[in-house]
Amino acid sequence: MRVLGVDPGLTRCGFGVVQSGRGREVSPVAVDVVRTPPDLELSRRLLRISDAAEEWLDAHRPDVVAVERVFSQHNVRTAMGTAQAGGVVALAAARRGIPVSFHTPSEVKAAVTGSGTAGKAQVTVMVTRLLGLAVAPTPADAADALALAICHCWRAPMIARMAQAEAAAAEAQRAYRARLALAARTSRSGR
């Protein structure tokens, strides 16, 4: 599976592509950070991020896009910009029929480092080690994008199994209700 990980942001938006192999094997494909100037109008900044996302989607043809979910930030303005940047990337993927999955920062940190409270430095060290990189990706947004892609590679099978289990449970519940309704109708007609 090829995953495009995106660490959304208006000033710096990290893009990283990872290819999964057997088991937990992952290999790097590409990584970069797209920057937009803070003094540029918001719509123009979002357009630049959208254009970059489309270029990455066309160049790397991922099977899925993993975007960091805006969980909480103290600065509402920053949170809004982050969410907007993630939204334009998700839209670009949706236009191509590419599934988009959102992961919280703590899910990503736990997947990559084993701790949901790991710091950025720990994430960068583990991403560098897991991908066998000679040099750590910089800035942190680049490492975070790769971490998102790794996280999705490792969590996707579990997410799929959970979805199958939920669907099976829902079907079993529907069948049970149908049997109850049939039993109730049979019991009423037998009186």
From CA 191, how far away is CA 180, in angstroms rounded? 17
One pLDDT digit (tens) per residue for the chain, 191 residues: 999 999 999 999 999 999 998 888 999 999 999 999 999 999 999 999 999 999 999 999 999 999 999 866 677 878 888 999 999 999 999 999 999 999 999 999 999 999 999 999 999 999 999 999 999 999 999 999 999 999 999 987 666 677 677 878 888 899 889 888 888 888 887 66
Could you say which of 25, 41, 141, 166 is catalytic? 141
- Assess whether 141 carries a catalytic annotation: yes
Could you say which of 7, 25, 41, 63 is catalytic? 7
**Phi, psi of 37, deg, nearest 5:** -70, 135
Q: Which domains does the chain have, with CATH numbers?
A: 2-189 (3.30.420.10)
Q: Flag whether 63 is marked binding.
A: no
Residue type, 94: A
Whether 137 and 146 have beta carbons less than 8 Å apart is answered as yes
Q: Flag whether 7 is marked binding.
A: yes
From CA 160, how far away is CA 172, in angstroms rounded? 18
Could you say which of 68, 144, 166, 171 is catalytic? 68
Whether this prediction's pTM lies above 0.85 is answered by no
